[in-house]
Chain A
Amino acid sequence: MADTSETRIDPRWAWEAYRPNDKAPWDLKRAGHLYRRAAFGATPTELQAALKKGPQKAIDDLLAGGPGQDAFDKQTEQLAESIVRVNNGQQLRDWWLYRMLYTPHPLREKFTLFWHNHFATSNATVQNAGFMYRQYRLLRKYVLGSFAEMLKEMSLDPAMMVWLNVKDSKKGNPNENYARELMELFSLGIGNYTEHDIREAARAFTGWTLQGNDVVYTESQHDLGEKSVLKQKGKWKPDDIVRICLEEDSAPYFLTKKLFRFLVSETMTPSRELLEPLATSFRKSGYDFGDLVRTVLRSNLFFSDQVYRTRIKAPVDFALGIVRGLEGRIGSTPLAGVLEQLGQSVLYPPSVKGWDGGEAWLNGQTLLFRQNLALALTSTEDIRFGHRCDPAALARKYGKKDDKELVDFFLDLFLQGDVAEESRSRLLLFQEKSHKMKVPVYWTAQDAADNRVRTLCHLVLTQPEFQLD
């Protein structure tokens, strides 16, 4: 996909706080955009409430999360501990998906997922649910906090130590895996370090191993000698290497660019000038990631037409957008199974680079899987999801009955009414014609009406625009 040129964007304007105006009014479209990017989509009630609140309050509320967080955390933590006791990584994956689905604080889970993609550690290799849970908690602890602290702790996190072989790295025989990815994928990006830097840095990570669940340092296995990393010489330890990396000019740009792609746009390649204000204050703040996220979320550029629908929904966003929109209460285990087919099995990323995202999410196979998942979630006949996610029940709750009302209700909920006029006409025509459809003799009038609502909802979800984030 060709990059969108953004040469005309004024960096000062871009990151100034958005104020609704005639050209960029606070409307359903922008409220939907905010809930897609900063959470996992919205319910009809949430969308309407956001419209009334205005952008500032809507963002504040998303950042703060809703009521009942402590109780939710407590309940799910107990569940996690029992999963960890039997070392079931797949259940832990399902457990996290459950949290994403039903948490009162979706923004926090969404950004925890951002970090999981950044430090992409897979339990396929780690094979230890306890370690994965510990890493998840580490990500969540610093989710909108200090990136510098997170990176330090990550370097001696047990799951990471297994994943990138720090636990096997000994003096005289360093394993380069972690040192390489620390620079290439976690802090600097390719081209901003040399092979020499990697080999030297690897020596600093020698001597740490795992004994049971504990990280153990053995001085005799640690290379105490002087290392020269990124032009800094000293008897460096792991924390020093992290510090040295974050002192590089490329580090804040690397991270802000990654956030830009996640939160703002996949199709626009931001120039250094555009990122400069963000990178500068990110570094000045000591890598306070929360600050950075708040600035971007409140910005003009975030709410501009240039970045609207310029991402492909990740599978998690696609599926959760449907379930949350329909106020469904499905089990997360069958959903996790489908998400794996769609290419996103959380806690099992494909490589240390994480998921490529963007157009890579969509190909012939995954597109069909997505459309078929939309059907499974809306039909109430699928044995995995059953009646617990029902468009007909939702339409009743919000008092929608006429064909027109129904078409607009689902188009507004999932696409904020923003589709080509011909698409709307096609749906309306289908809905009018469907009255004549033959139904089984034992169906009541209500059964037939409900069935029509479910089919309509599925067709709305198969619109190409629904693939966009």
Chain B
Amino acid sequence: MSQTRRDFLKSTGLVALGLNAPLFVSRTAALAAPAHKPGARDTILVVVELNGGNDGLNTVIPFKNPLYAKYRPTLQQSTSQIKKLTDEIGLHPQLTDFADLHQEGHLCVVQGVGYPNPDQSHFRSMDIWQSASKVDNPTEGWIGKALRQIPGAPSFHLKNSGERAPLALDGAPARVPSIASLQDFQLQVAGGTDAKAQREVIEGSAKPGGTRKPGLLDFVQRTASNTYASSRRLQEIGKNYQPKATYPQTQLANKLKLAAQLIDGNFGARIFYVSLGGFDTHAQQAGAHANLMQQLSGAVAAFFKDLSARGHKDRLLVMTFSEFGRRAKENGSKGTDHGSAAPMFLIGGKVKPGLVGAHPSLEKIPMGNLEHHTDFRQVYAAVLDQWLGVSSKDVLGGAFKPVGVFRS
């Protein structure tokens, strides 16, 4: 570990926390990657899940292709409004901020991403994307597995109230905390002079005894121990944070603002997971989808600006995905049914700007679906190997050729 880093940890009192420190704090420094390897600069990954199946065809649009207008009699976007990336491909009109990021060279669009024999169940397909595997009933996620190679990397699921932790984070050495806000992340006890004694009873019961068997009780105790320790630590973080960009008033923007706060807390936070729901647009899609596009690009762009202004631009990578795209042709309810291939966005200081791969064919649509040409695990492989510095082969259970999404 570098001297400055050790000094920093000492000065913030993290080393002094010793055994009481949550796993993520006590292990971070020791496992930072060597300087010449990817991940050495404490790269940050923010995964944005677009839940419900995002309509890829109306996100990254082949506006010159006459079949586009034909397949989408009511849902087509007008050519004049589309944010053009090339002479043939453009972004949804509400992806204004993404178009700006593209201009600045910070947006990469991987087209036609999917996997063989696509499944059109939300839940099954989401499991496949999150576990990066096709086993039945997966119990481990791709990020959870990656965290085994960087076990101390502080990671967070930033959630809406009521949202469960994603499968993608399961399988990590310590359960990744889900957090709604810093204020909420506190253990309260009754007022009075014995507040400390009350906390000791509560925290004492969370310490697993020597003879305990693995099982649900052990799970509850592990979750509780880690939570109580994290909660104490996080109360100190982000108190002096002032955003350096204007975030829109949306849930997604609030979550990304919290991520910025945690990154600004400077304890090495590296992986964040957030989700945006509402993409299952079977009916009356136009307004709902436009709104989602705007929320997505507005929140991510503000986040990127804020962190850039704080000097984290080259450490940051935001990646979006959805469990599937939607059917090429719209249905009779001015919506679209479940489909397959769709684009992914990568935003960051180090991404290779522009389009990667061709738009899926509109001529050849088996079962009415756009066909993928890039396996999502090739994108994961690039992120794992070249960004996080984690062996993708171990995480993905096989070798996938990384897609070129980073500037060399």
Contact = CB atoms under 8 A, between A and B. Distances in A.
Interface of A: 1-2, 4, 165, 168-170, 172-177, 180, 184, 190-191, 195, 266-267, 309-312, 340-345, 350-351, 353, 355-356, 359-369, 371-372, 375, 379, 420, 422-423, 426-427, 430, 433-434, 437-439, 451, 454-455, 458-459, 462-465, 467-468
A468 B192 contact: no
Contacts of A353: 122-123
A286 to B, nearest CB: 29
Contact of B219 (A1, A177, A372): A1
Interface string B16-48: 000000000000000000000000000000000
A168 B193 contact: no
20 contacts: A4-B215, A172-B332, A175-B331, A176-B338, A311-B216, A340-B161, A343-B163, A343-B164, A360-B164, A363-B165, A363-B178, A364-B227, A371-B202, A426-B204, A438-B192, A439-B192, A462-B201, A464-B206, A464-B217, A464-B224
A443 to B, nearest CB: 11
A162 B224 CA distance: 40
A13 B202 CA distance: 40
Contacts of A345: 162
A184 B122 CA distance: 10
A375 B226 contact: no
B161 A341 contact: yes
A268 to B, nearest CB: 11
B177 A364 contact: yes
A165 B284 CA distance: 11
Nearest to B175: A363
B372 interface: no
B399 interface: no
A361 B216 CA distance: 12
B331 A312 contact: no
Contacts of B189: 375, 458
Contacts of B204: 426
Interface stretch (B142-150, B179-187, B296-304, B374-382): B179-187
Given A366-B178, A430-B201, A465-B217, A375 B190 contact: yes
Nearest to B208: A464
A109 B123 CA distance: 28
Contact of B333 (A4, A168, A309): A168
Contacts of B331: 173-175
B54 interface: no
Interface in B41-78: none
A307 to B, nearest CB: 11
B350 interface: no
Interface in B135-174: 136, 139, 157, 159, 161-165
A1 B159 CA distance: 22
A362 B226 CA distance: 12
Interface string B349-384: 000000000000000000100000000000000000
A166 to B, nearest CB: 10
Contacts of A459: 198, 201-202
B216 A364 contact: no
B164 A165 contact: no
A411 to B, nearest CB: 12
Given A343-B162, A351-B122, A464-B224, A364 B192 contact: no
B214 interface: yes
A351 B190 CA distance: 37
Contacts of A267: 215-216
A232 to B, nearest CB: 22
A451 B194 contact: no
Interface string B197-224: 1100110111001000011110111011
Nearest to B189: A375
A362 B164 CA distance: 8
A54 B202 CA distance: 35
A331 B265 CA distance: 40
A368 B187 contact: yes
B178 A165 contact: no
Give 4 nearest A-B pairs by CB, closest first. Answer: A173-B332, A168-B333, A364-B177, A363-B178
A266 B205 CA distance: 23
A368 B184 contact: yes
Contacts of A310: 215-216
B214 A369 contact: no
Contacts of B164: 343, 350, 355-356, 360-361, 363
A363 B169 CA distance: 12
